A and B are shown apart, each in its own frame.
Chain A
Amino acid sequence: MKIILLIGCVLISWQTSGQALSSEIPGAPIIQLDLENGLVKDEVPVPYGTRLIFKGTVLKQVENTPFNKLFVFYRDKTCPDPAIKTLDAGFEKMTEWHRADSTIAGRSNVASFVSKLDPKDFFLANRNYCLVIRRDEDKTHADTYQQQVSFRTASKFGDFIKLDFGVGYSSPIKAVIGTASIHIYAKPTNEFVNLAERFPFTQQLLMRTSLFIGIAPITLTSSTKQAITPFSAVGNLVFGLGYRAPTFYPKHKYKTDKNSSALSPQGVYRKDFNQALRINLGFVVFKQANPSPLIDNPLTLIEPYVSITYDTSLKGVLAPIALLLGIK
């Protein structure tokens, strides 16, 4: 019965996981820009460390002028007022602005564009940002196009919480246990962000480390002098620390180009497989009958255990099984 419950939870999480908002970059929100009025049309929550896709229309006076790249500058605050009209040659060297060039998908001389923003420093959650978007960086074209737009990133409660399932082993009680746990992160976490990117050390740590609490509804084996009894009706209690993607760090060999962030097909699979993996160090809470015949109440005990779990981004790894079961 407990095994059926565990499998059911996995399938339900499969159906409901996937907070990806874009089909072009998994997990990347699409932000609609109204560049004529300098507005962001849709307020889209941006989890910690995610990349952005911008869609918008160019101003009418430049829509027939070919261009295939947008130069993007951003800063960690709202846009200046009055708006920036021109960019000086040393603009990107100003410390409060970061350059994050954006490539345009599709044809170059179109009224609308889809731009994938791949900045060196990723946008953080719950912050105000200003983007300055230029058609031409060095002002060699007379009709250089420029616009600025403010937007705010926001996180959801679900960005701090991840659910996973796995198997653990506790040496003191020689028990193999199945676990289902909720992981709580200190920062909003986007499970699709490539952890092999060179984030600062603190950001790497916060994106990978979590506190967890959960249950171990299944005890596959155990070997103790006194039999173990479940802590509660749904199983034993577990809690501890988790560390995501322990085998996935910045490397270039799975990228198409060491200066690019694009992954090879092998790299994509390796990322999807490894980033869902988590190792955990925690404690399992269970009960044992009191050896004294005078006392009927069991004793509550805690012992350490280690486990390997997979979080809810299981789609990439278990896609063939999903197809077999007819799950879309």
Chain B
Amino acid sequence: MKIYRLFLLTILTGIAACSPLVDPDYIPPEDAITLRAIDSKGSTVTTIKGDGQSQARILAQLPAETTSQDVTFSTTGGHFVYNEGKTIKELSDSVSGAFRFARALLQSDSLKPSDPPKVLYITVEVAGTRQRLSLTLTK
């Protein structure tokens, strides 16, 4: 009766391998850019002190199968430490599990005592796809 087991195994393998069809209007979260800001301890932050010295690491998570490794970070406020500019290109060459990562270090602007809190927008662009993150600059 071994042949019947092989017949059954074939059918069960096929059934187990069936999967939903691709919906072009839906991109699973794990296949999109995930952006977050973290402090030196690795905790996610949503604010940064506007003292001109505080820093936050901007972490861009991409699927490991991403074809292009070039990641462009840009910010509306503060500057990136490595080139003192508002835009920087990094490589997403750090792979962990099903994801690859790119990092950039952002330093805050100095807020005057009279200035209200300010929102910074950090944008990441990969292969024509963009994701945006907001950080609040506090006194």
Which A residues form the contact surface with B (CB < 8 A)? 172-173, 186, 206, 209, 211, 224-226, 239-241, 281-283, 288-297, 299, 301-304
Contact = CB atoms under 8 A, between A and B. Distances in A.
Interface in B3-53: 3, 6-7, 10-11, 14-15, 17-19, 21-28, 31-33
Contacts, number: 87
Interface stretch (B80-88, B101-109, B111-119, B121-129): B121-129
Given A239-B14, A241-B11, A282-B14, A292 B21 contact: no
Most B CB within 10 A of own CB, among A224, A240, A302 = A302
A292 B68 CA distance: 13
21 contacts: A206-B3, A211-B6, A211-B7, A226-B21, A226-B24, A240-B14, A241-B10, A281-B11, A288-B21, A288-B22, A290-B65, A291-B24, A292-B63, A293-B128, A294-B66, A294-B67, A295-B31, A301-B22, A302-B17, A304-B14, A304-B18
B62 interface: yes
Contacts of B21: 172-173, 224-226, 288, 301, 303
Contacts of A304: 14-15, 18
A240 to B, nearest CB: 7
B23 A226 contact: yes
Given A209-B7, A226-B22, A302-B19, A294 B14 contact: no
B61 to A, nearest CB: 11
Most A CB within 10 A of own CB, among B6, B22, B32, B127 = B22
Contacts of A302: 14, 17-19
Contacts of A240: 10-11, 14
Most A CB within 10 A of own CB, among B18, B26, B129 = B18
A172 B15 CA distance: 13
B7 A295 contact: no
Given A240-B11, A281-B11, A292 B22 contact: no
Contacts of A209: 7
A299 B31 CA distance: 12
A236 to B, nearest CB: 14
A291 B32 CA distance: 10
Contact of A292 (B7, B18, B25, B32): B32
Nearest to B1: A202
B129 A293 contact: yes
A179 B98 CA distance: 36
B14 A225 contact: no
Q: Nearest 6 CB-CB pairs, A to B?
A: A292-B31, A283-B14, A186-B3, A226-B22, A288-B22, A296-B67
A303 B127 CA distance: 31
Nearest to A283: B14
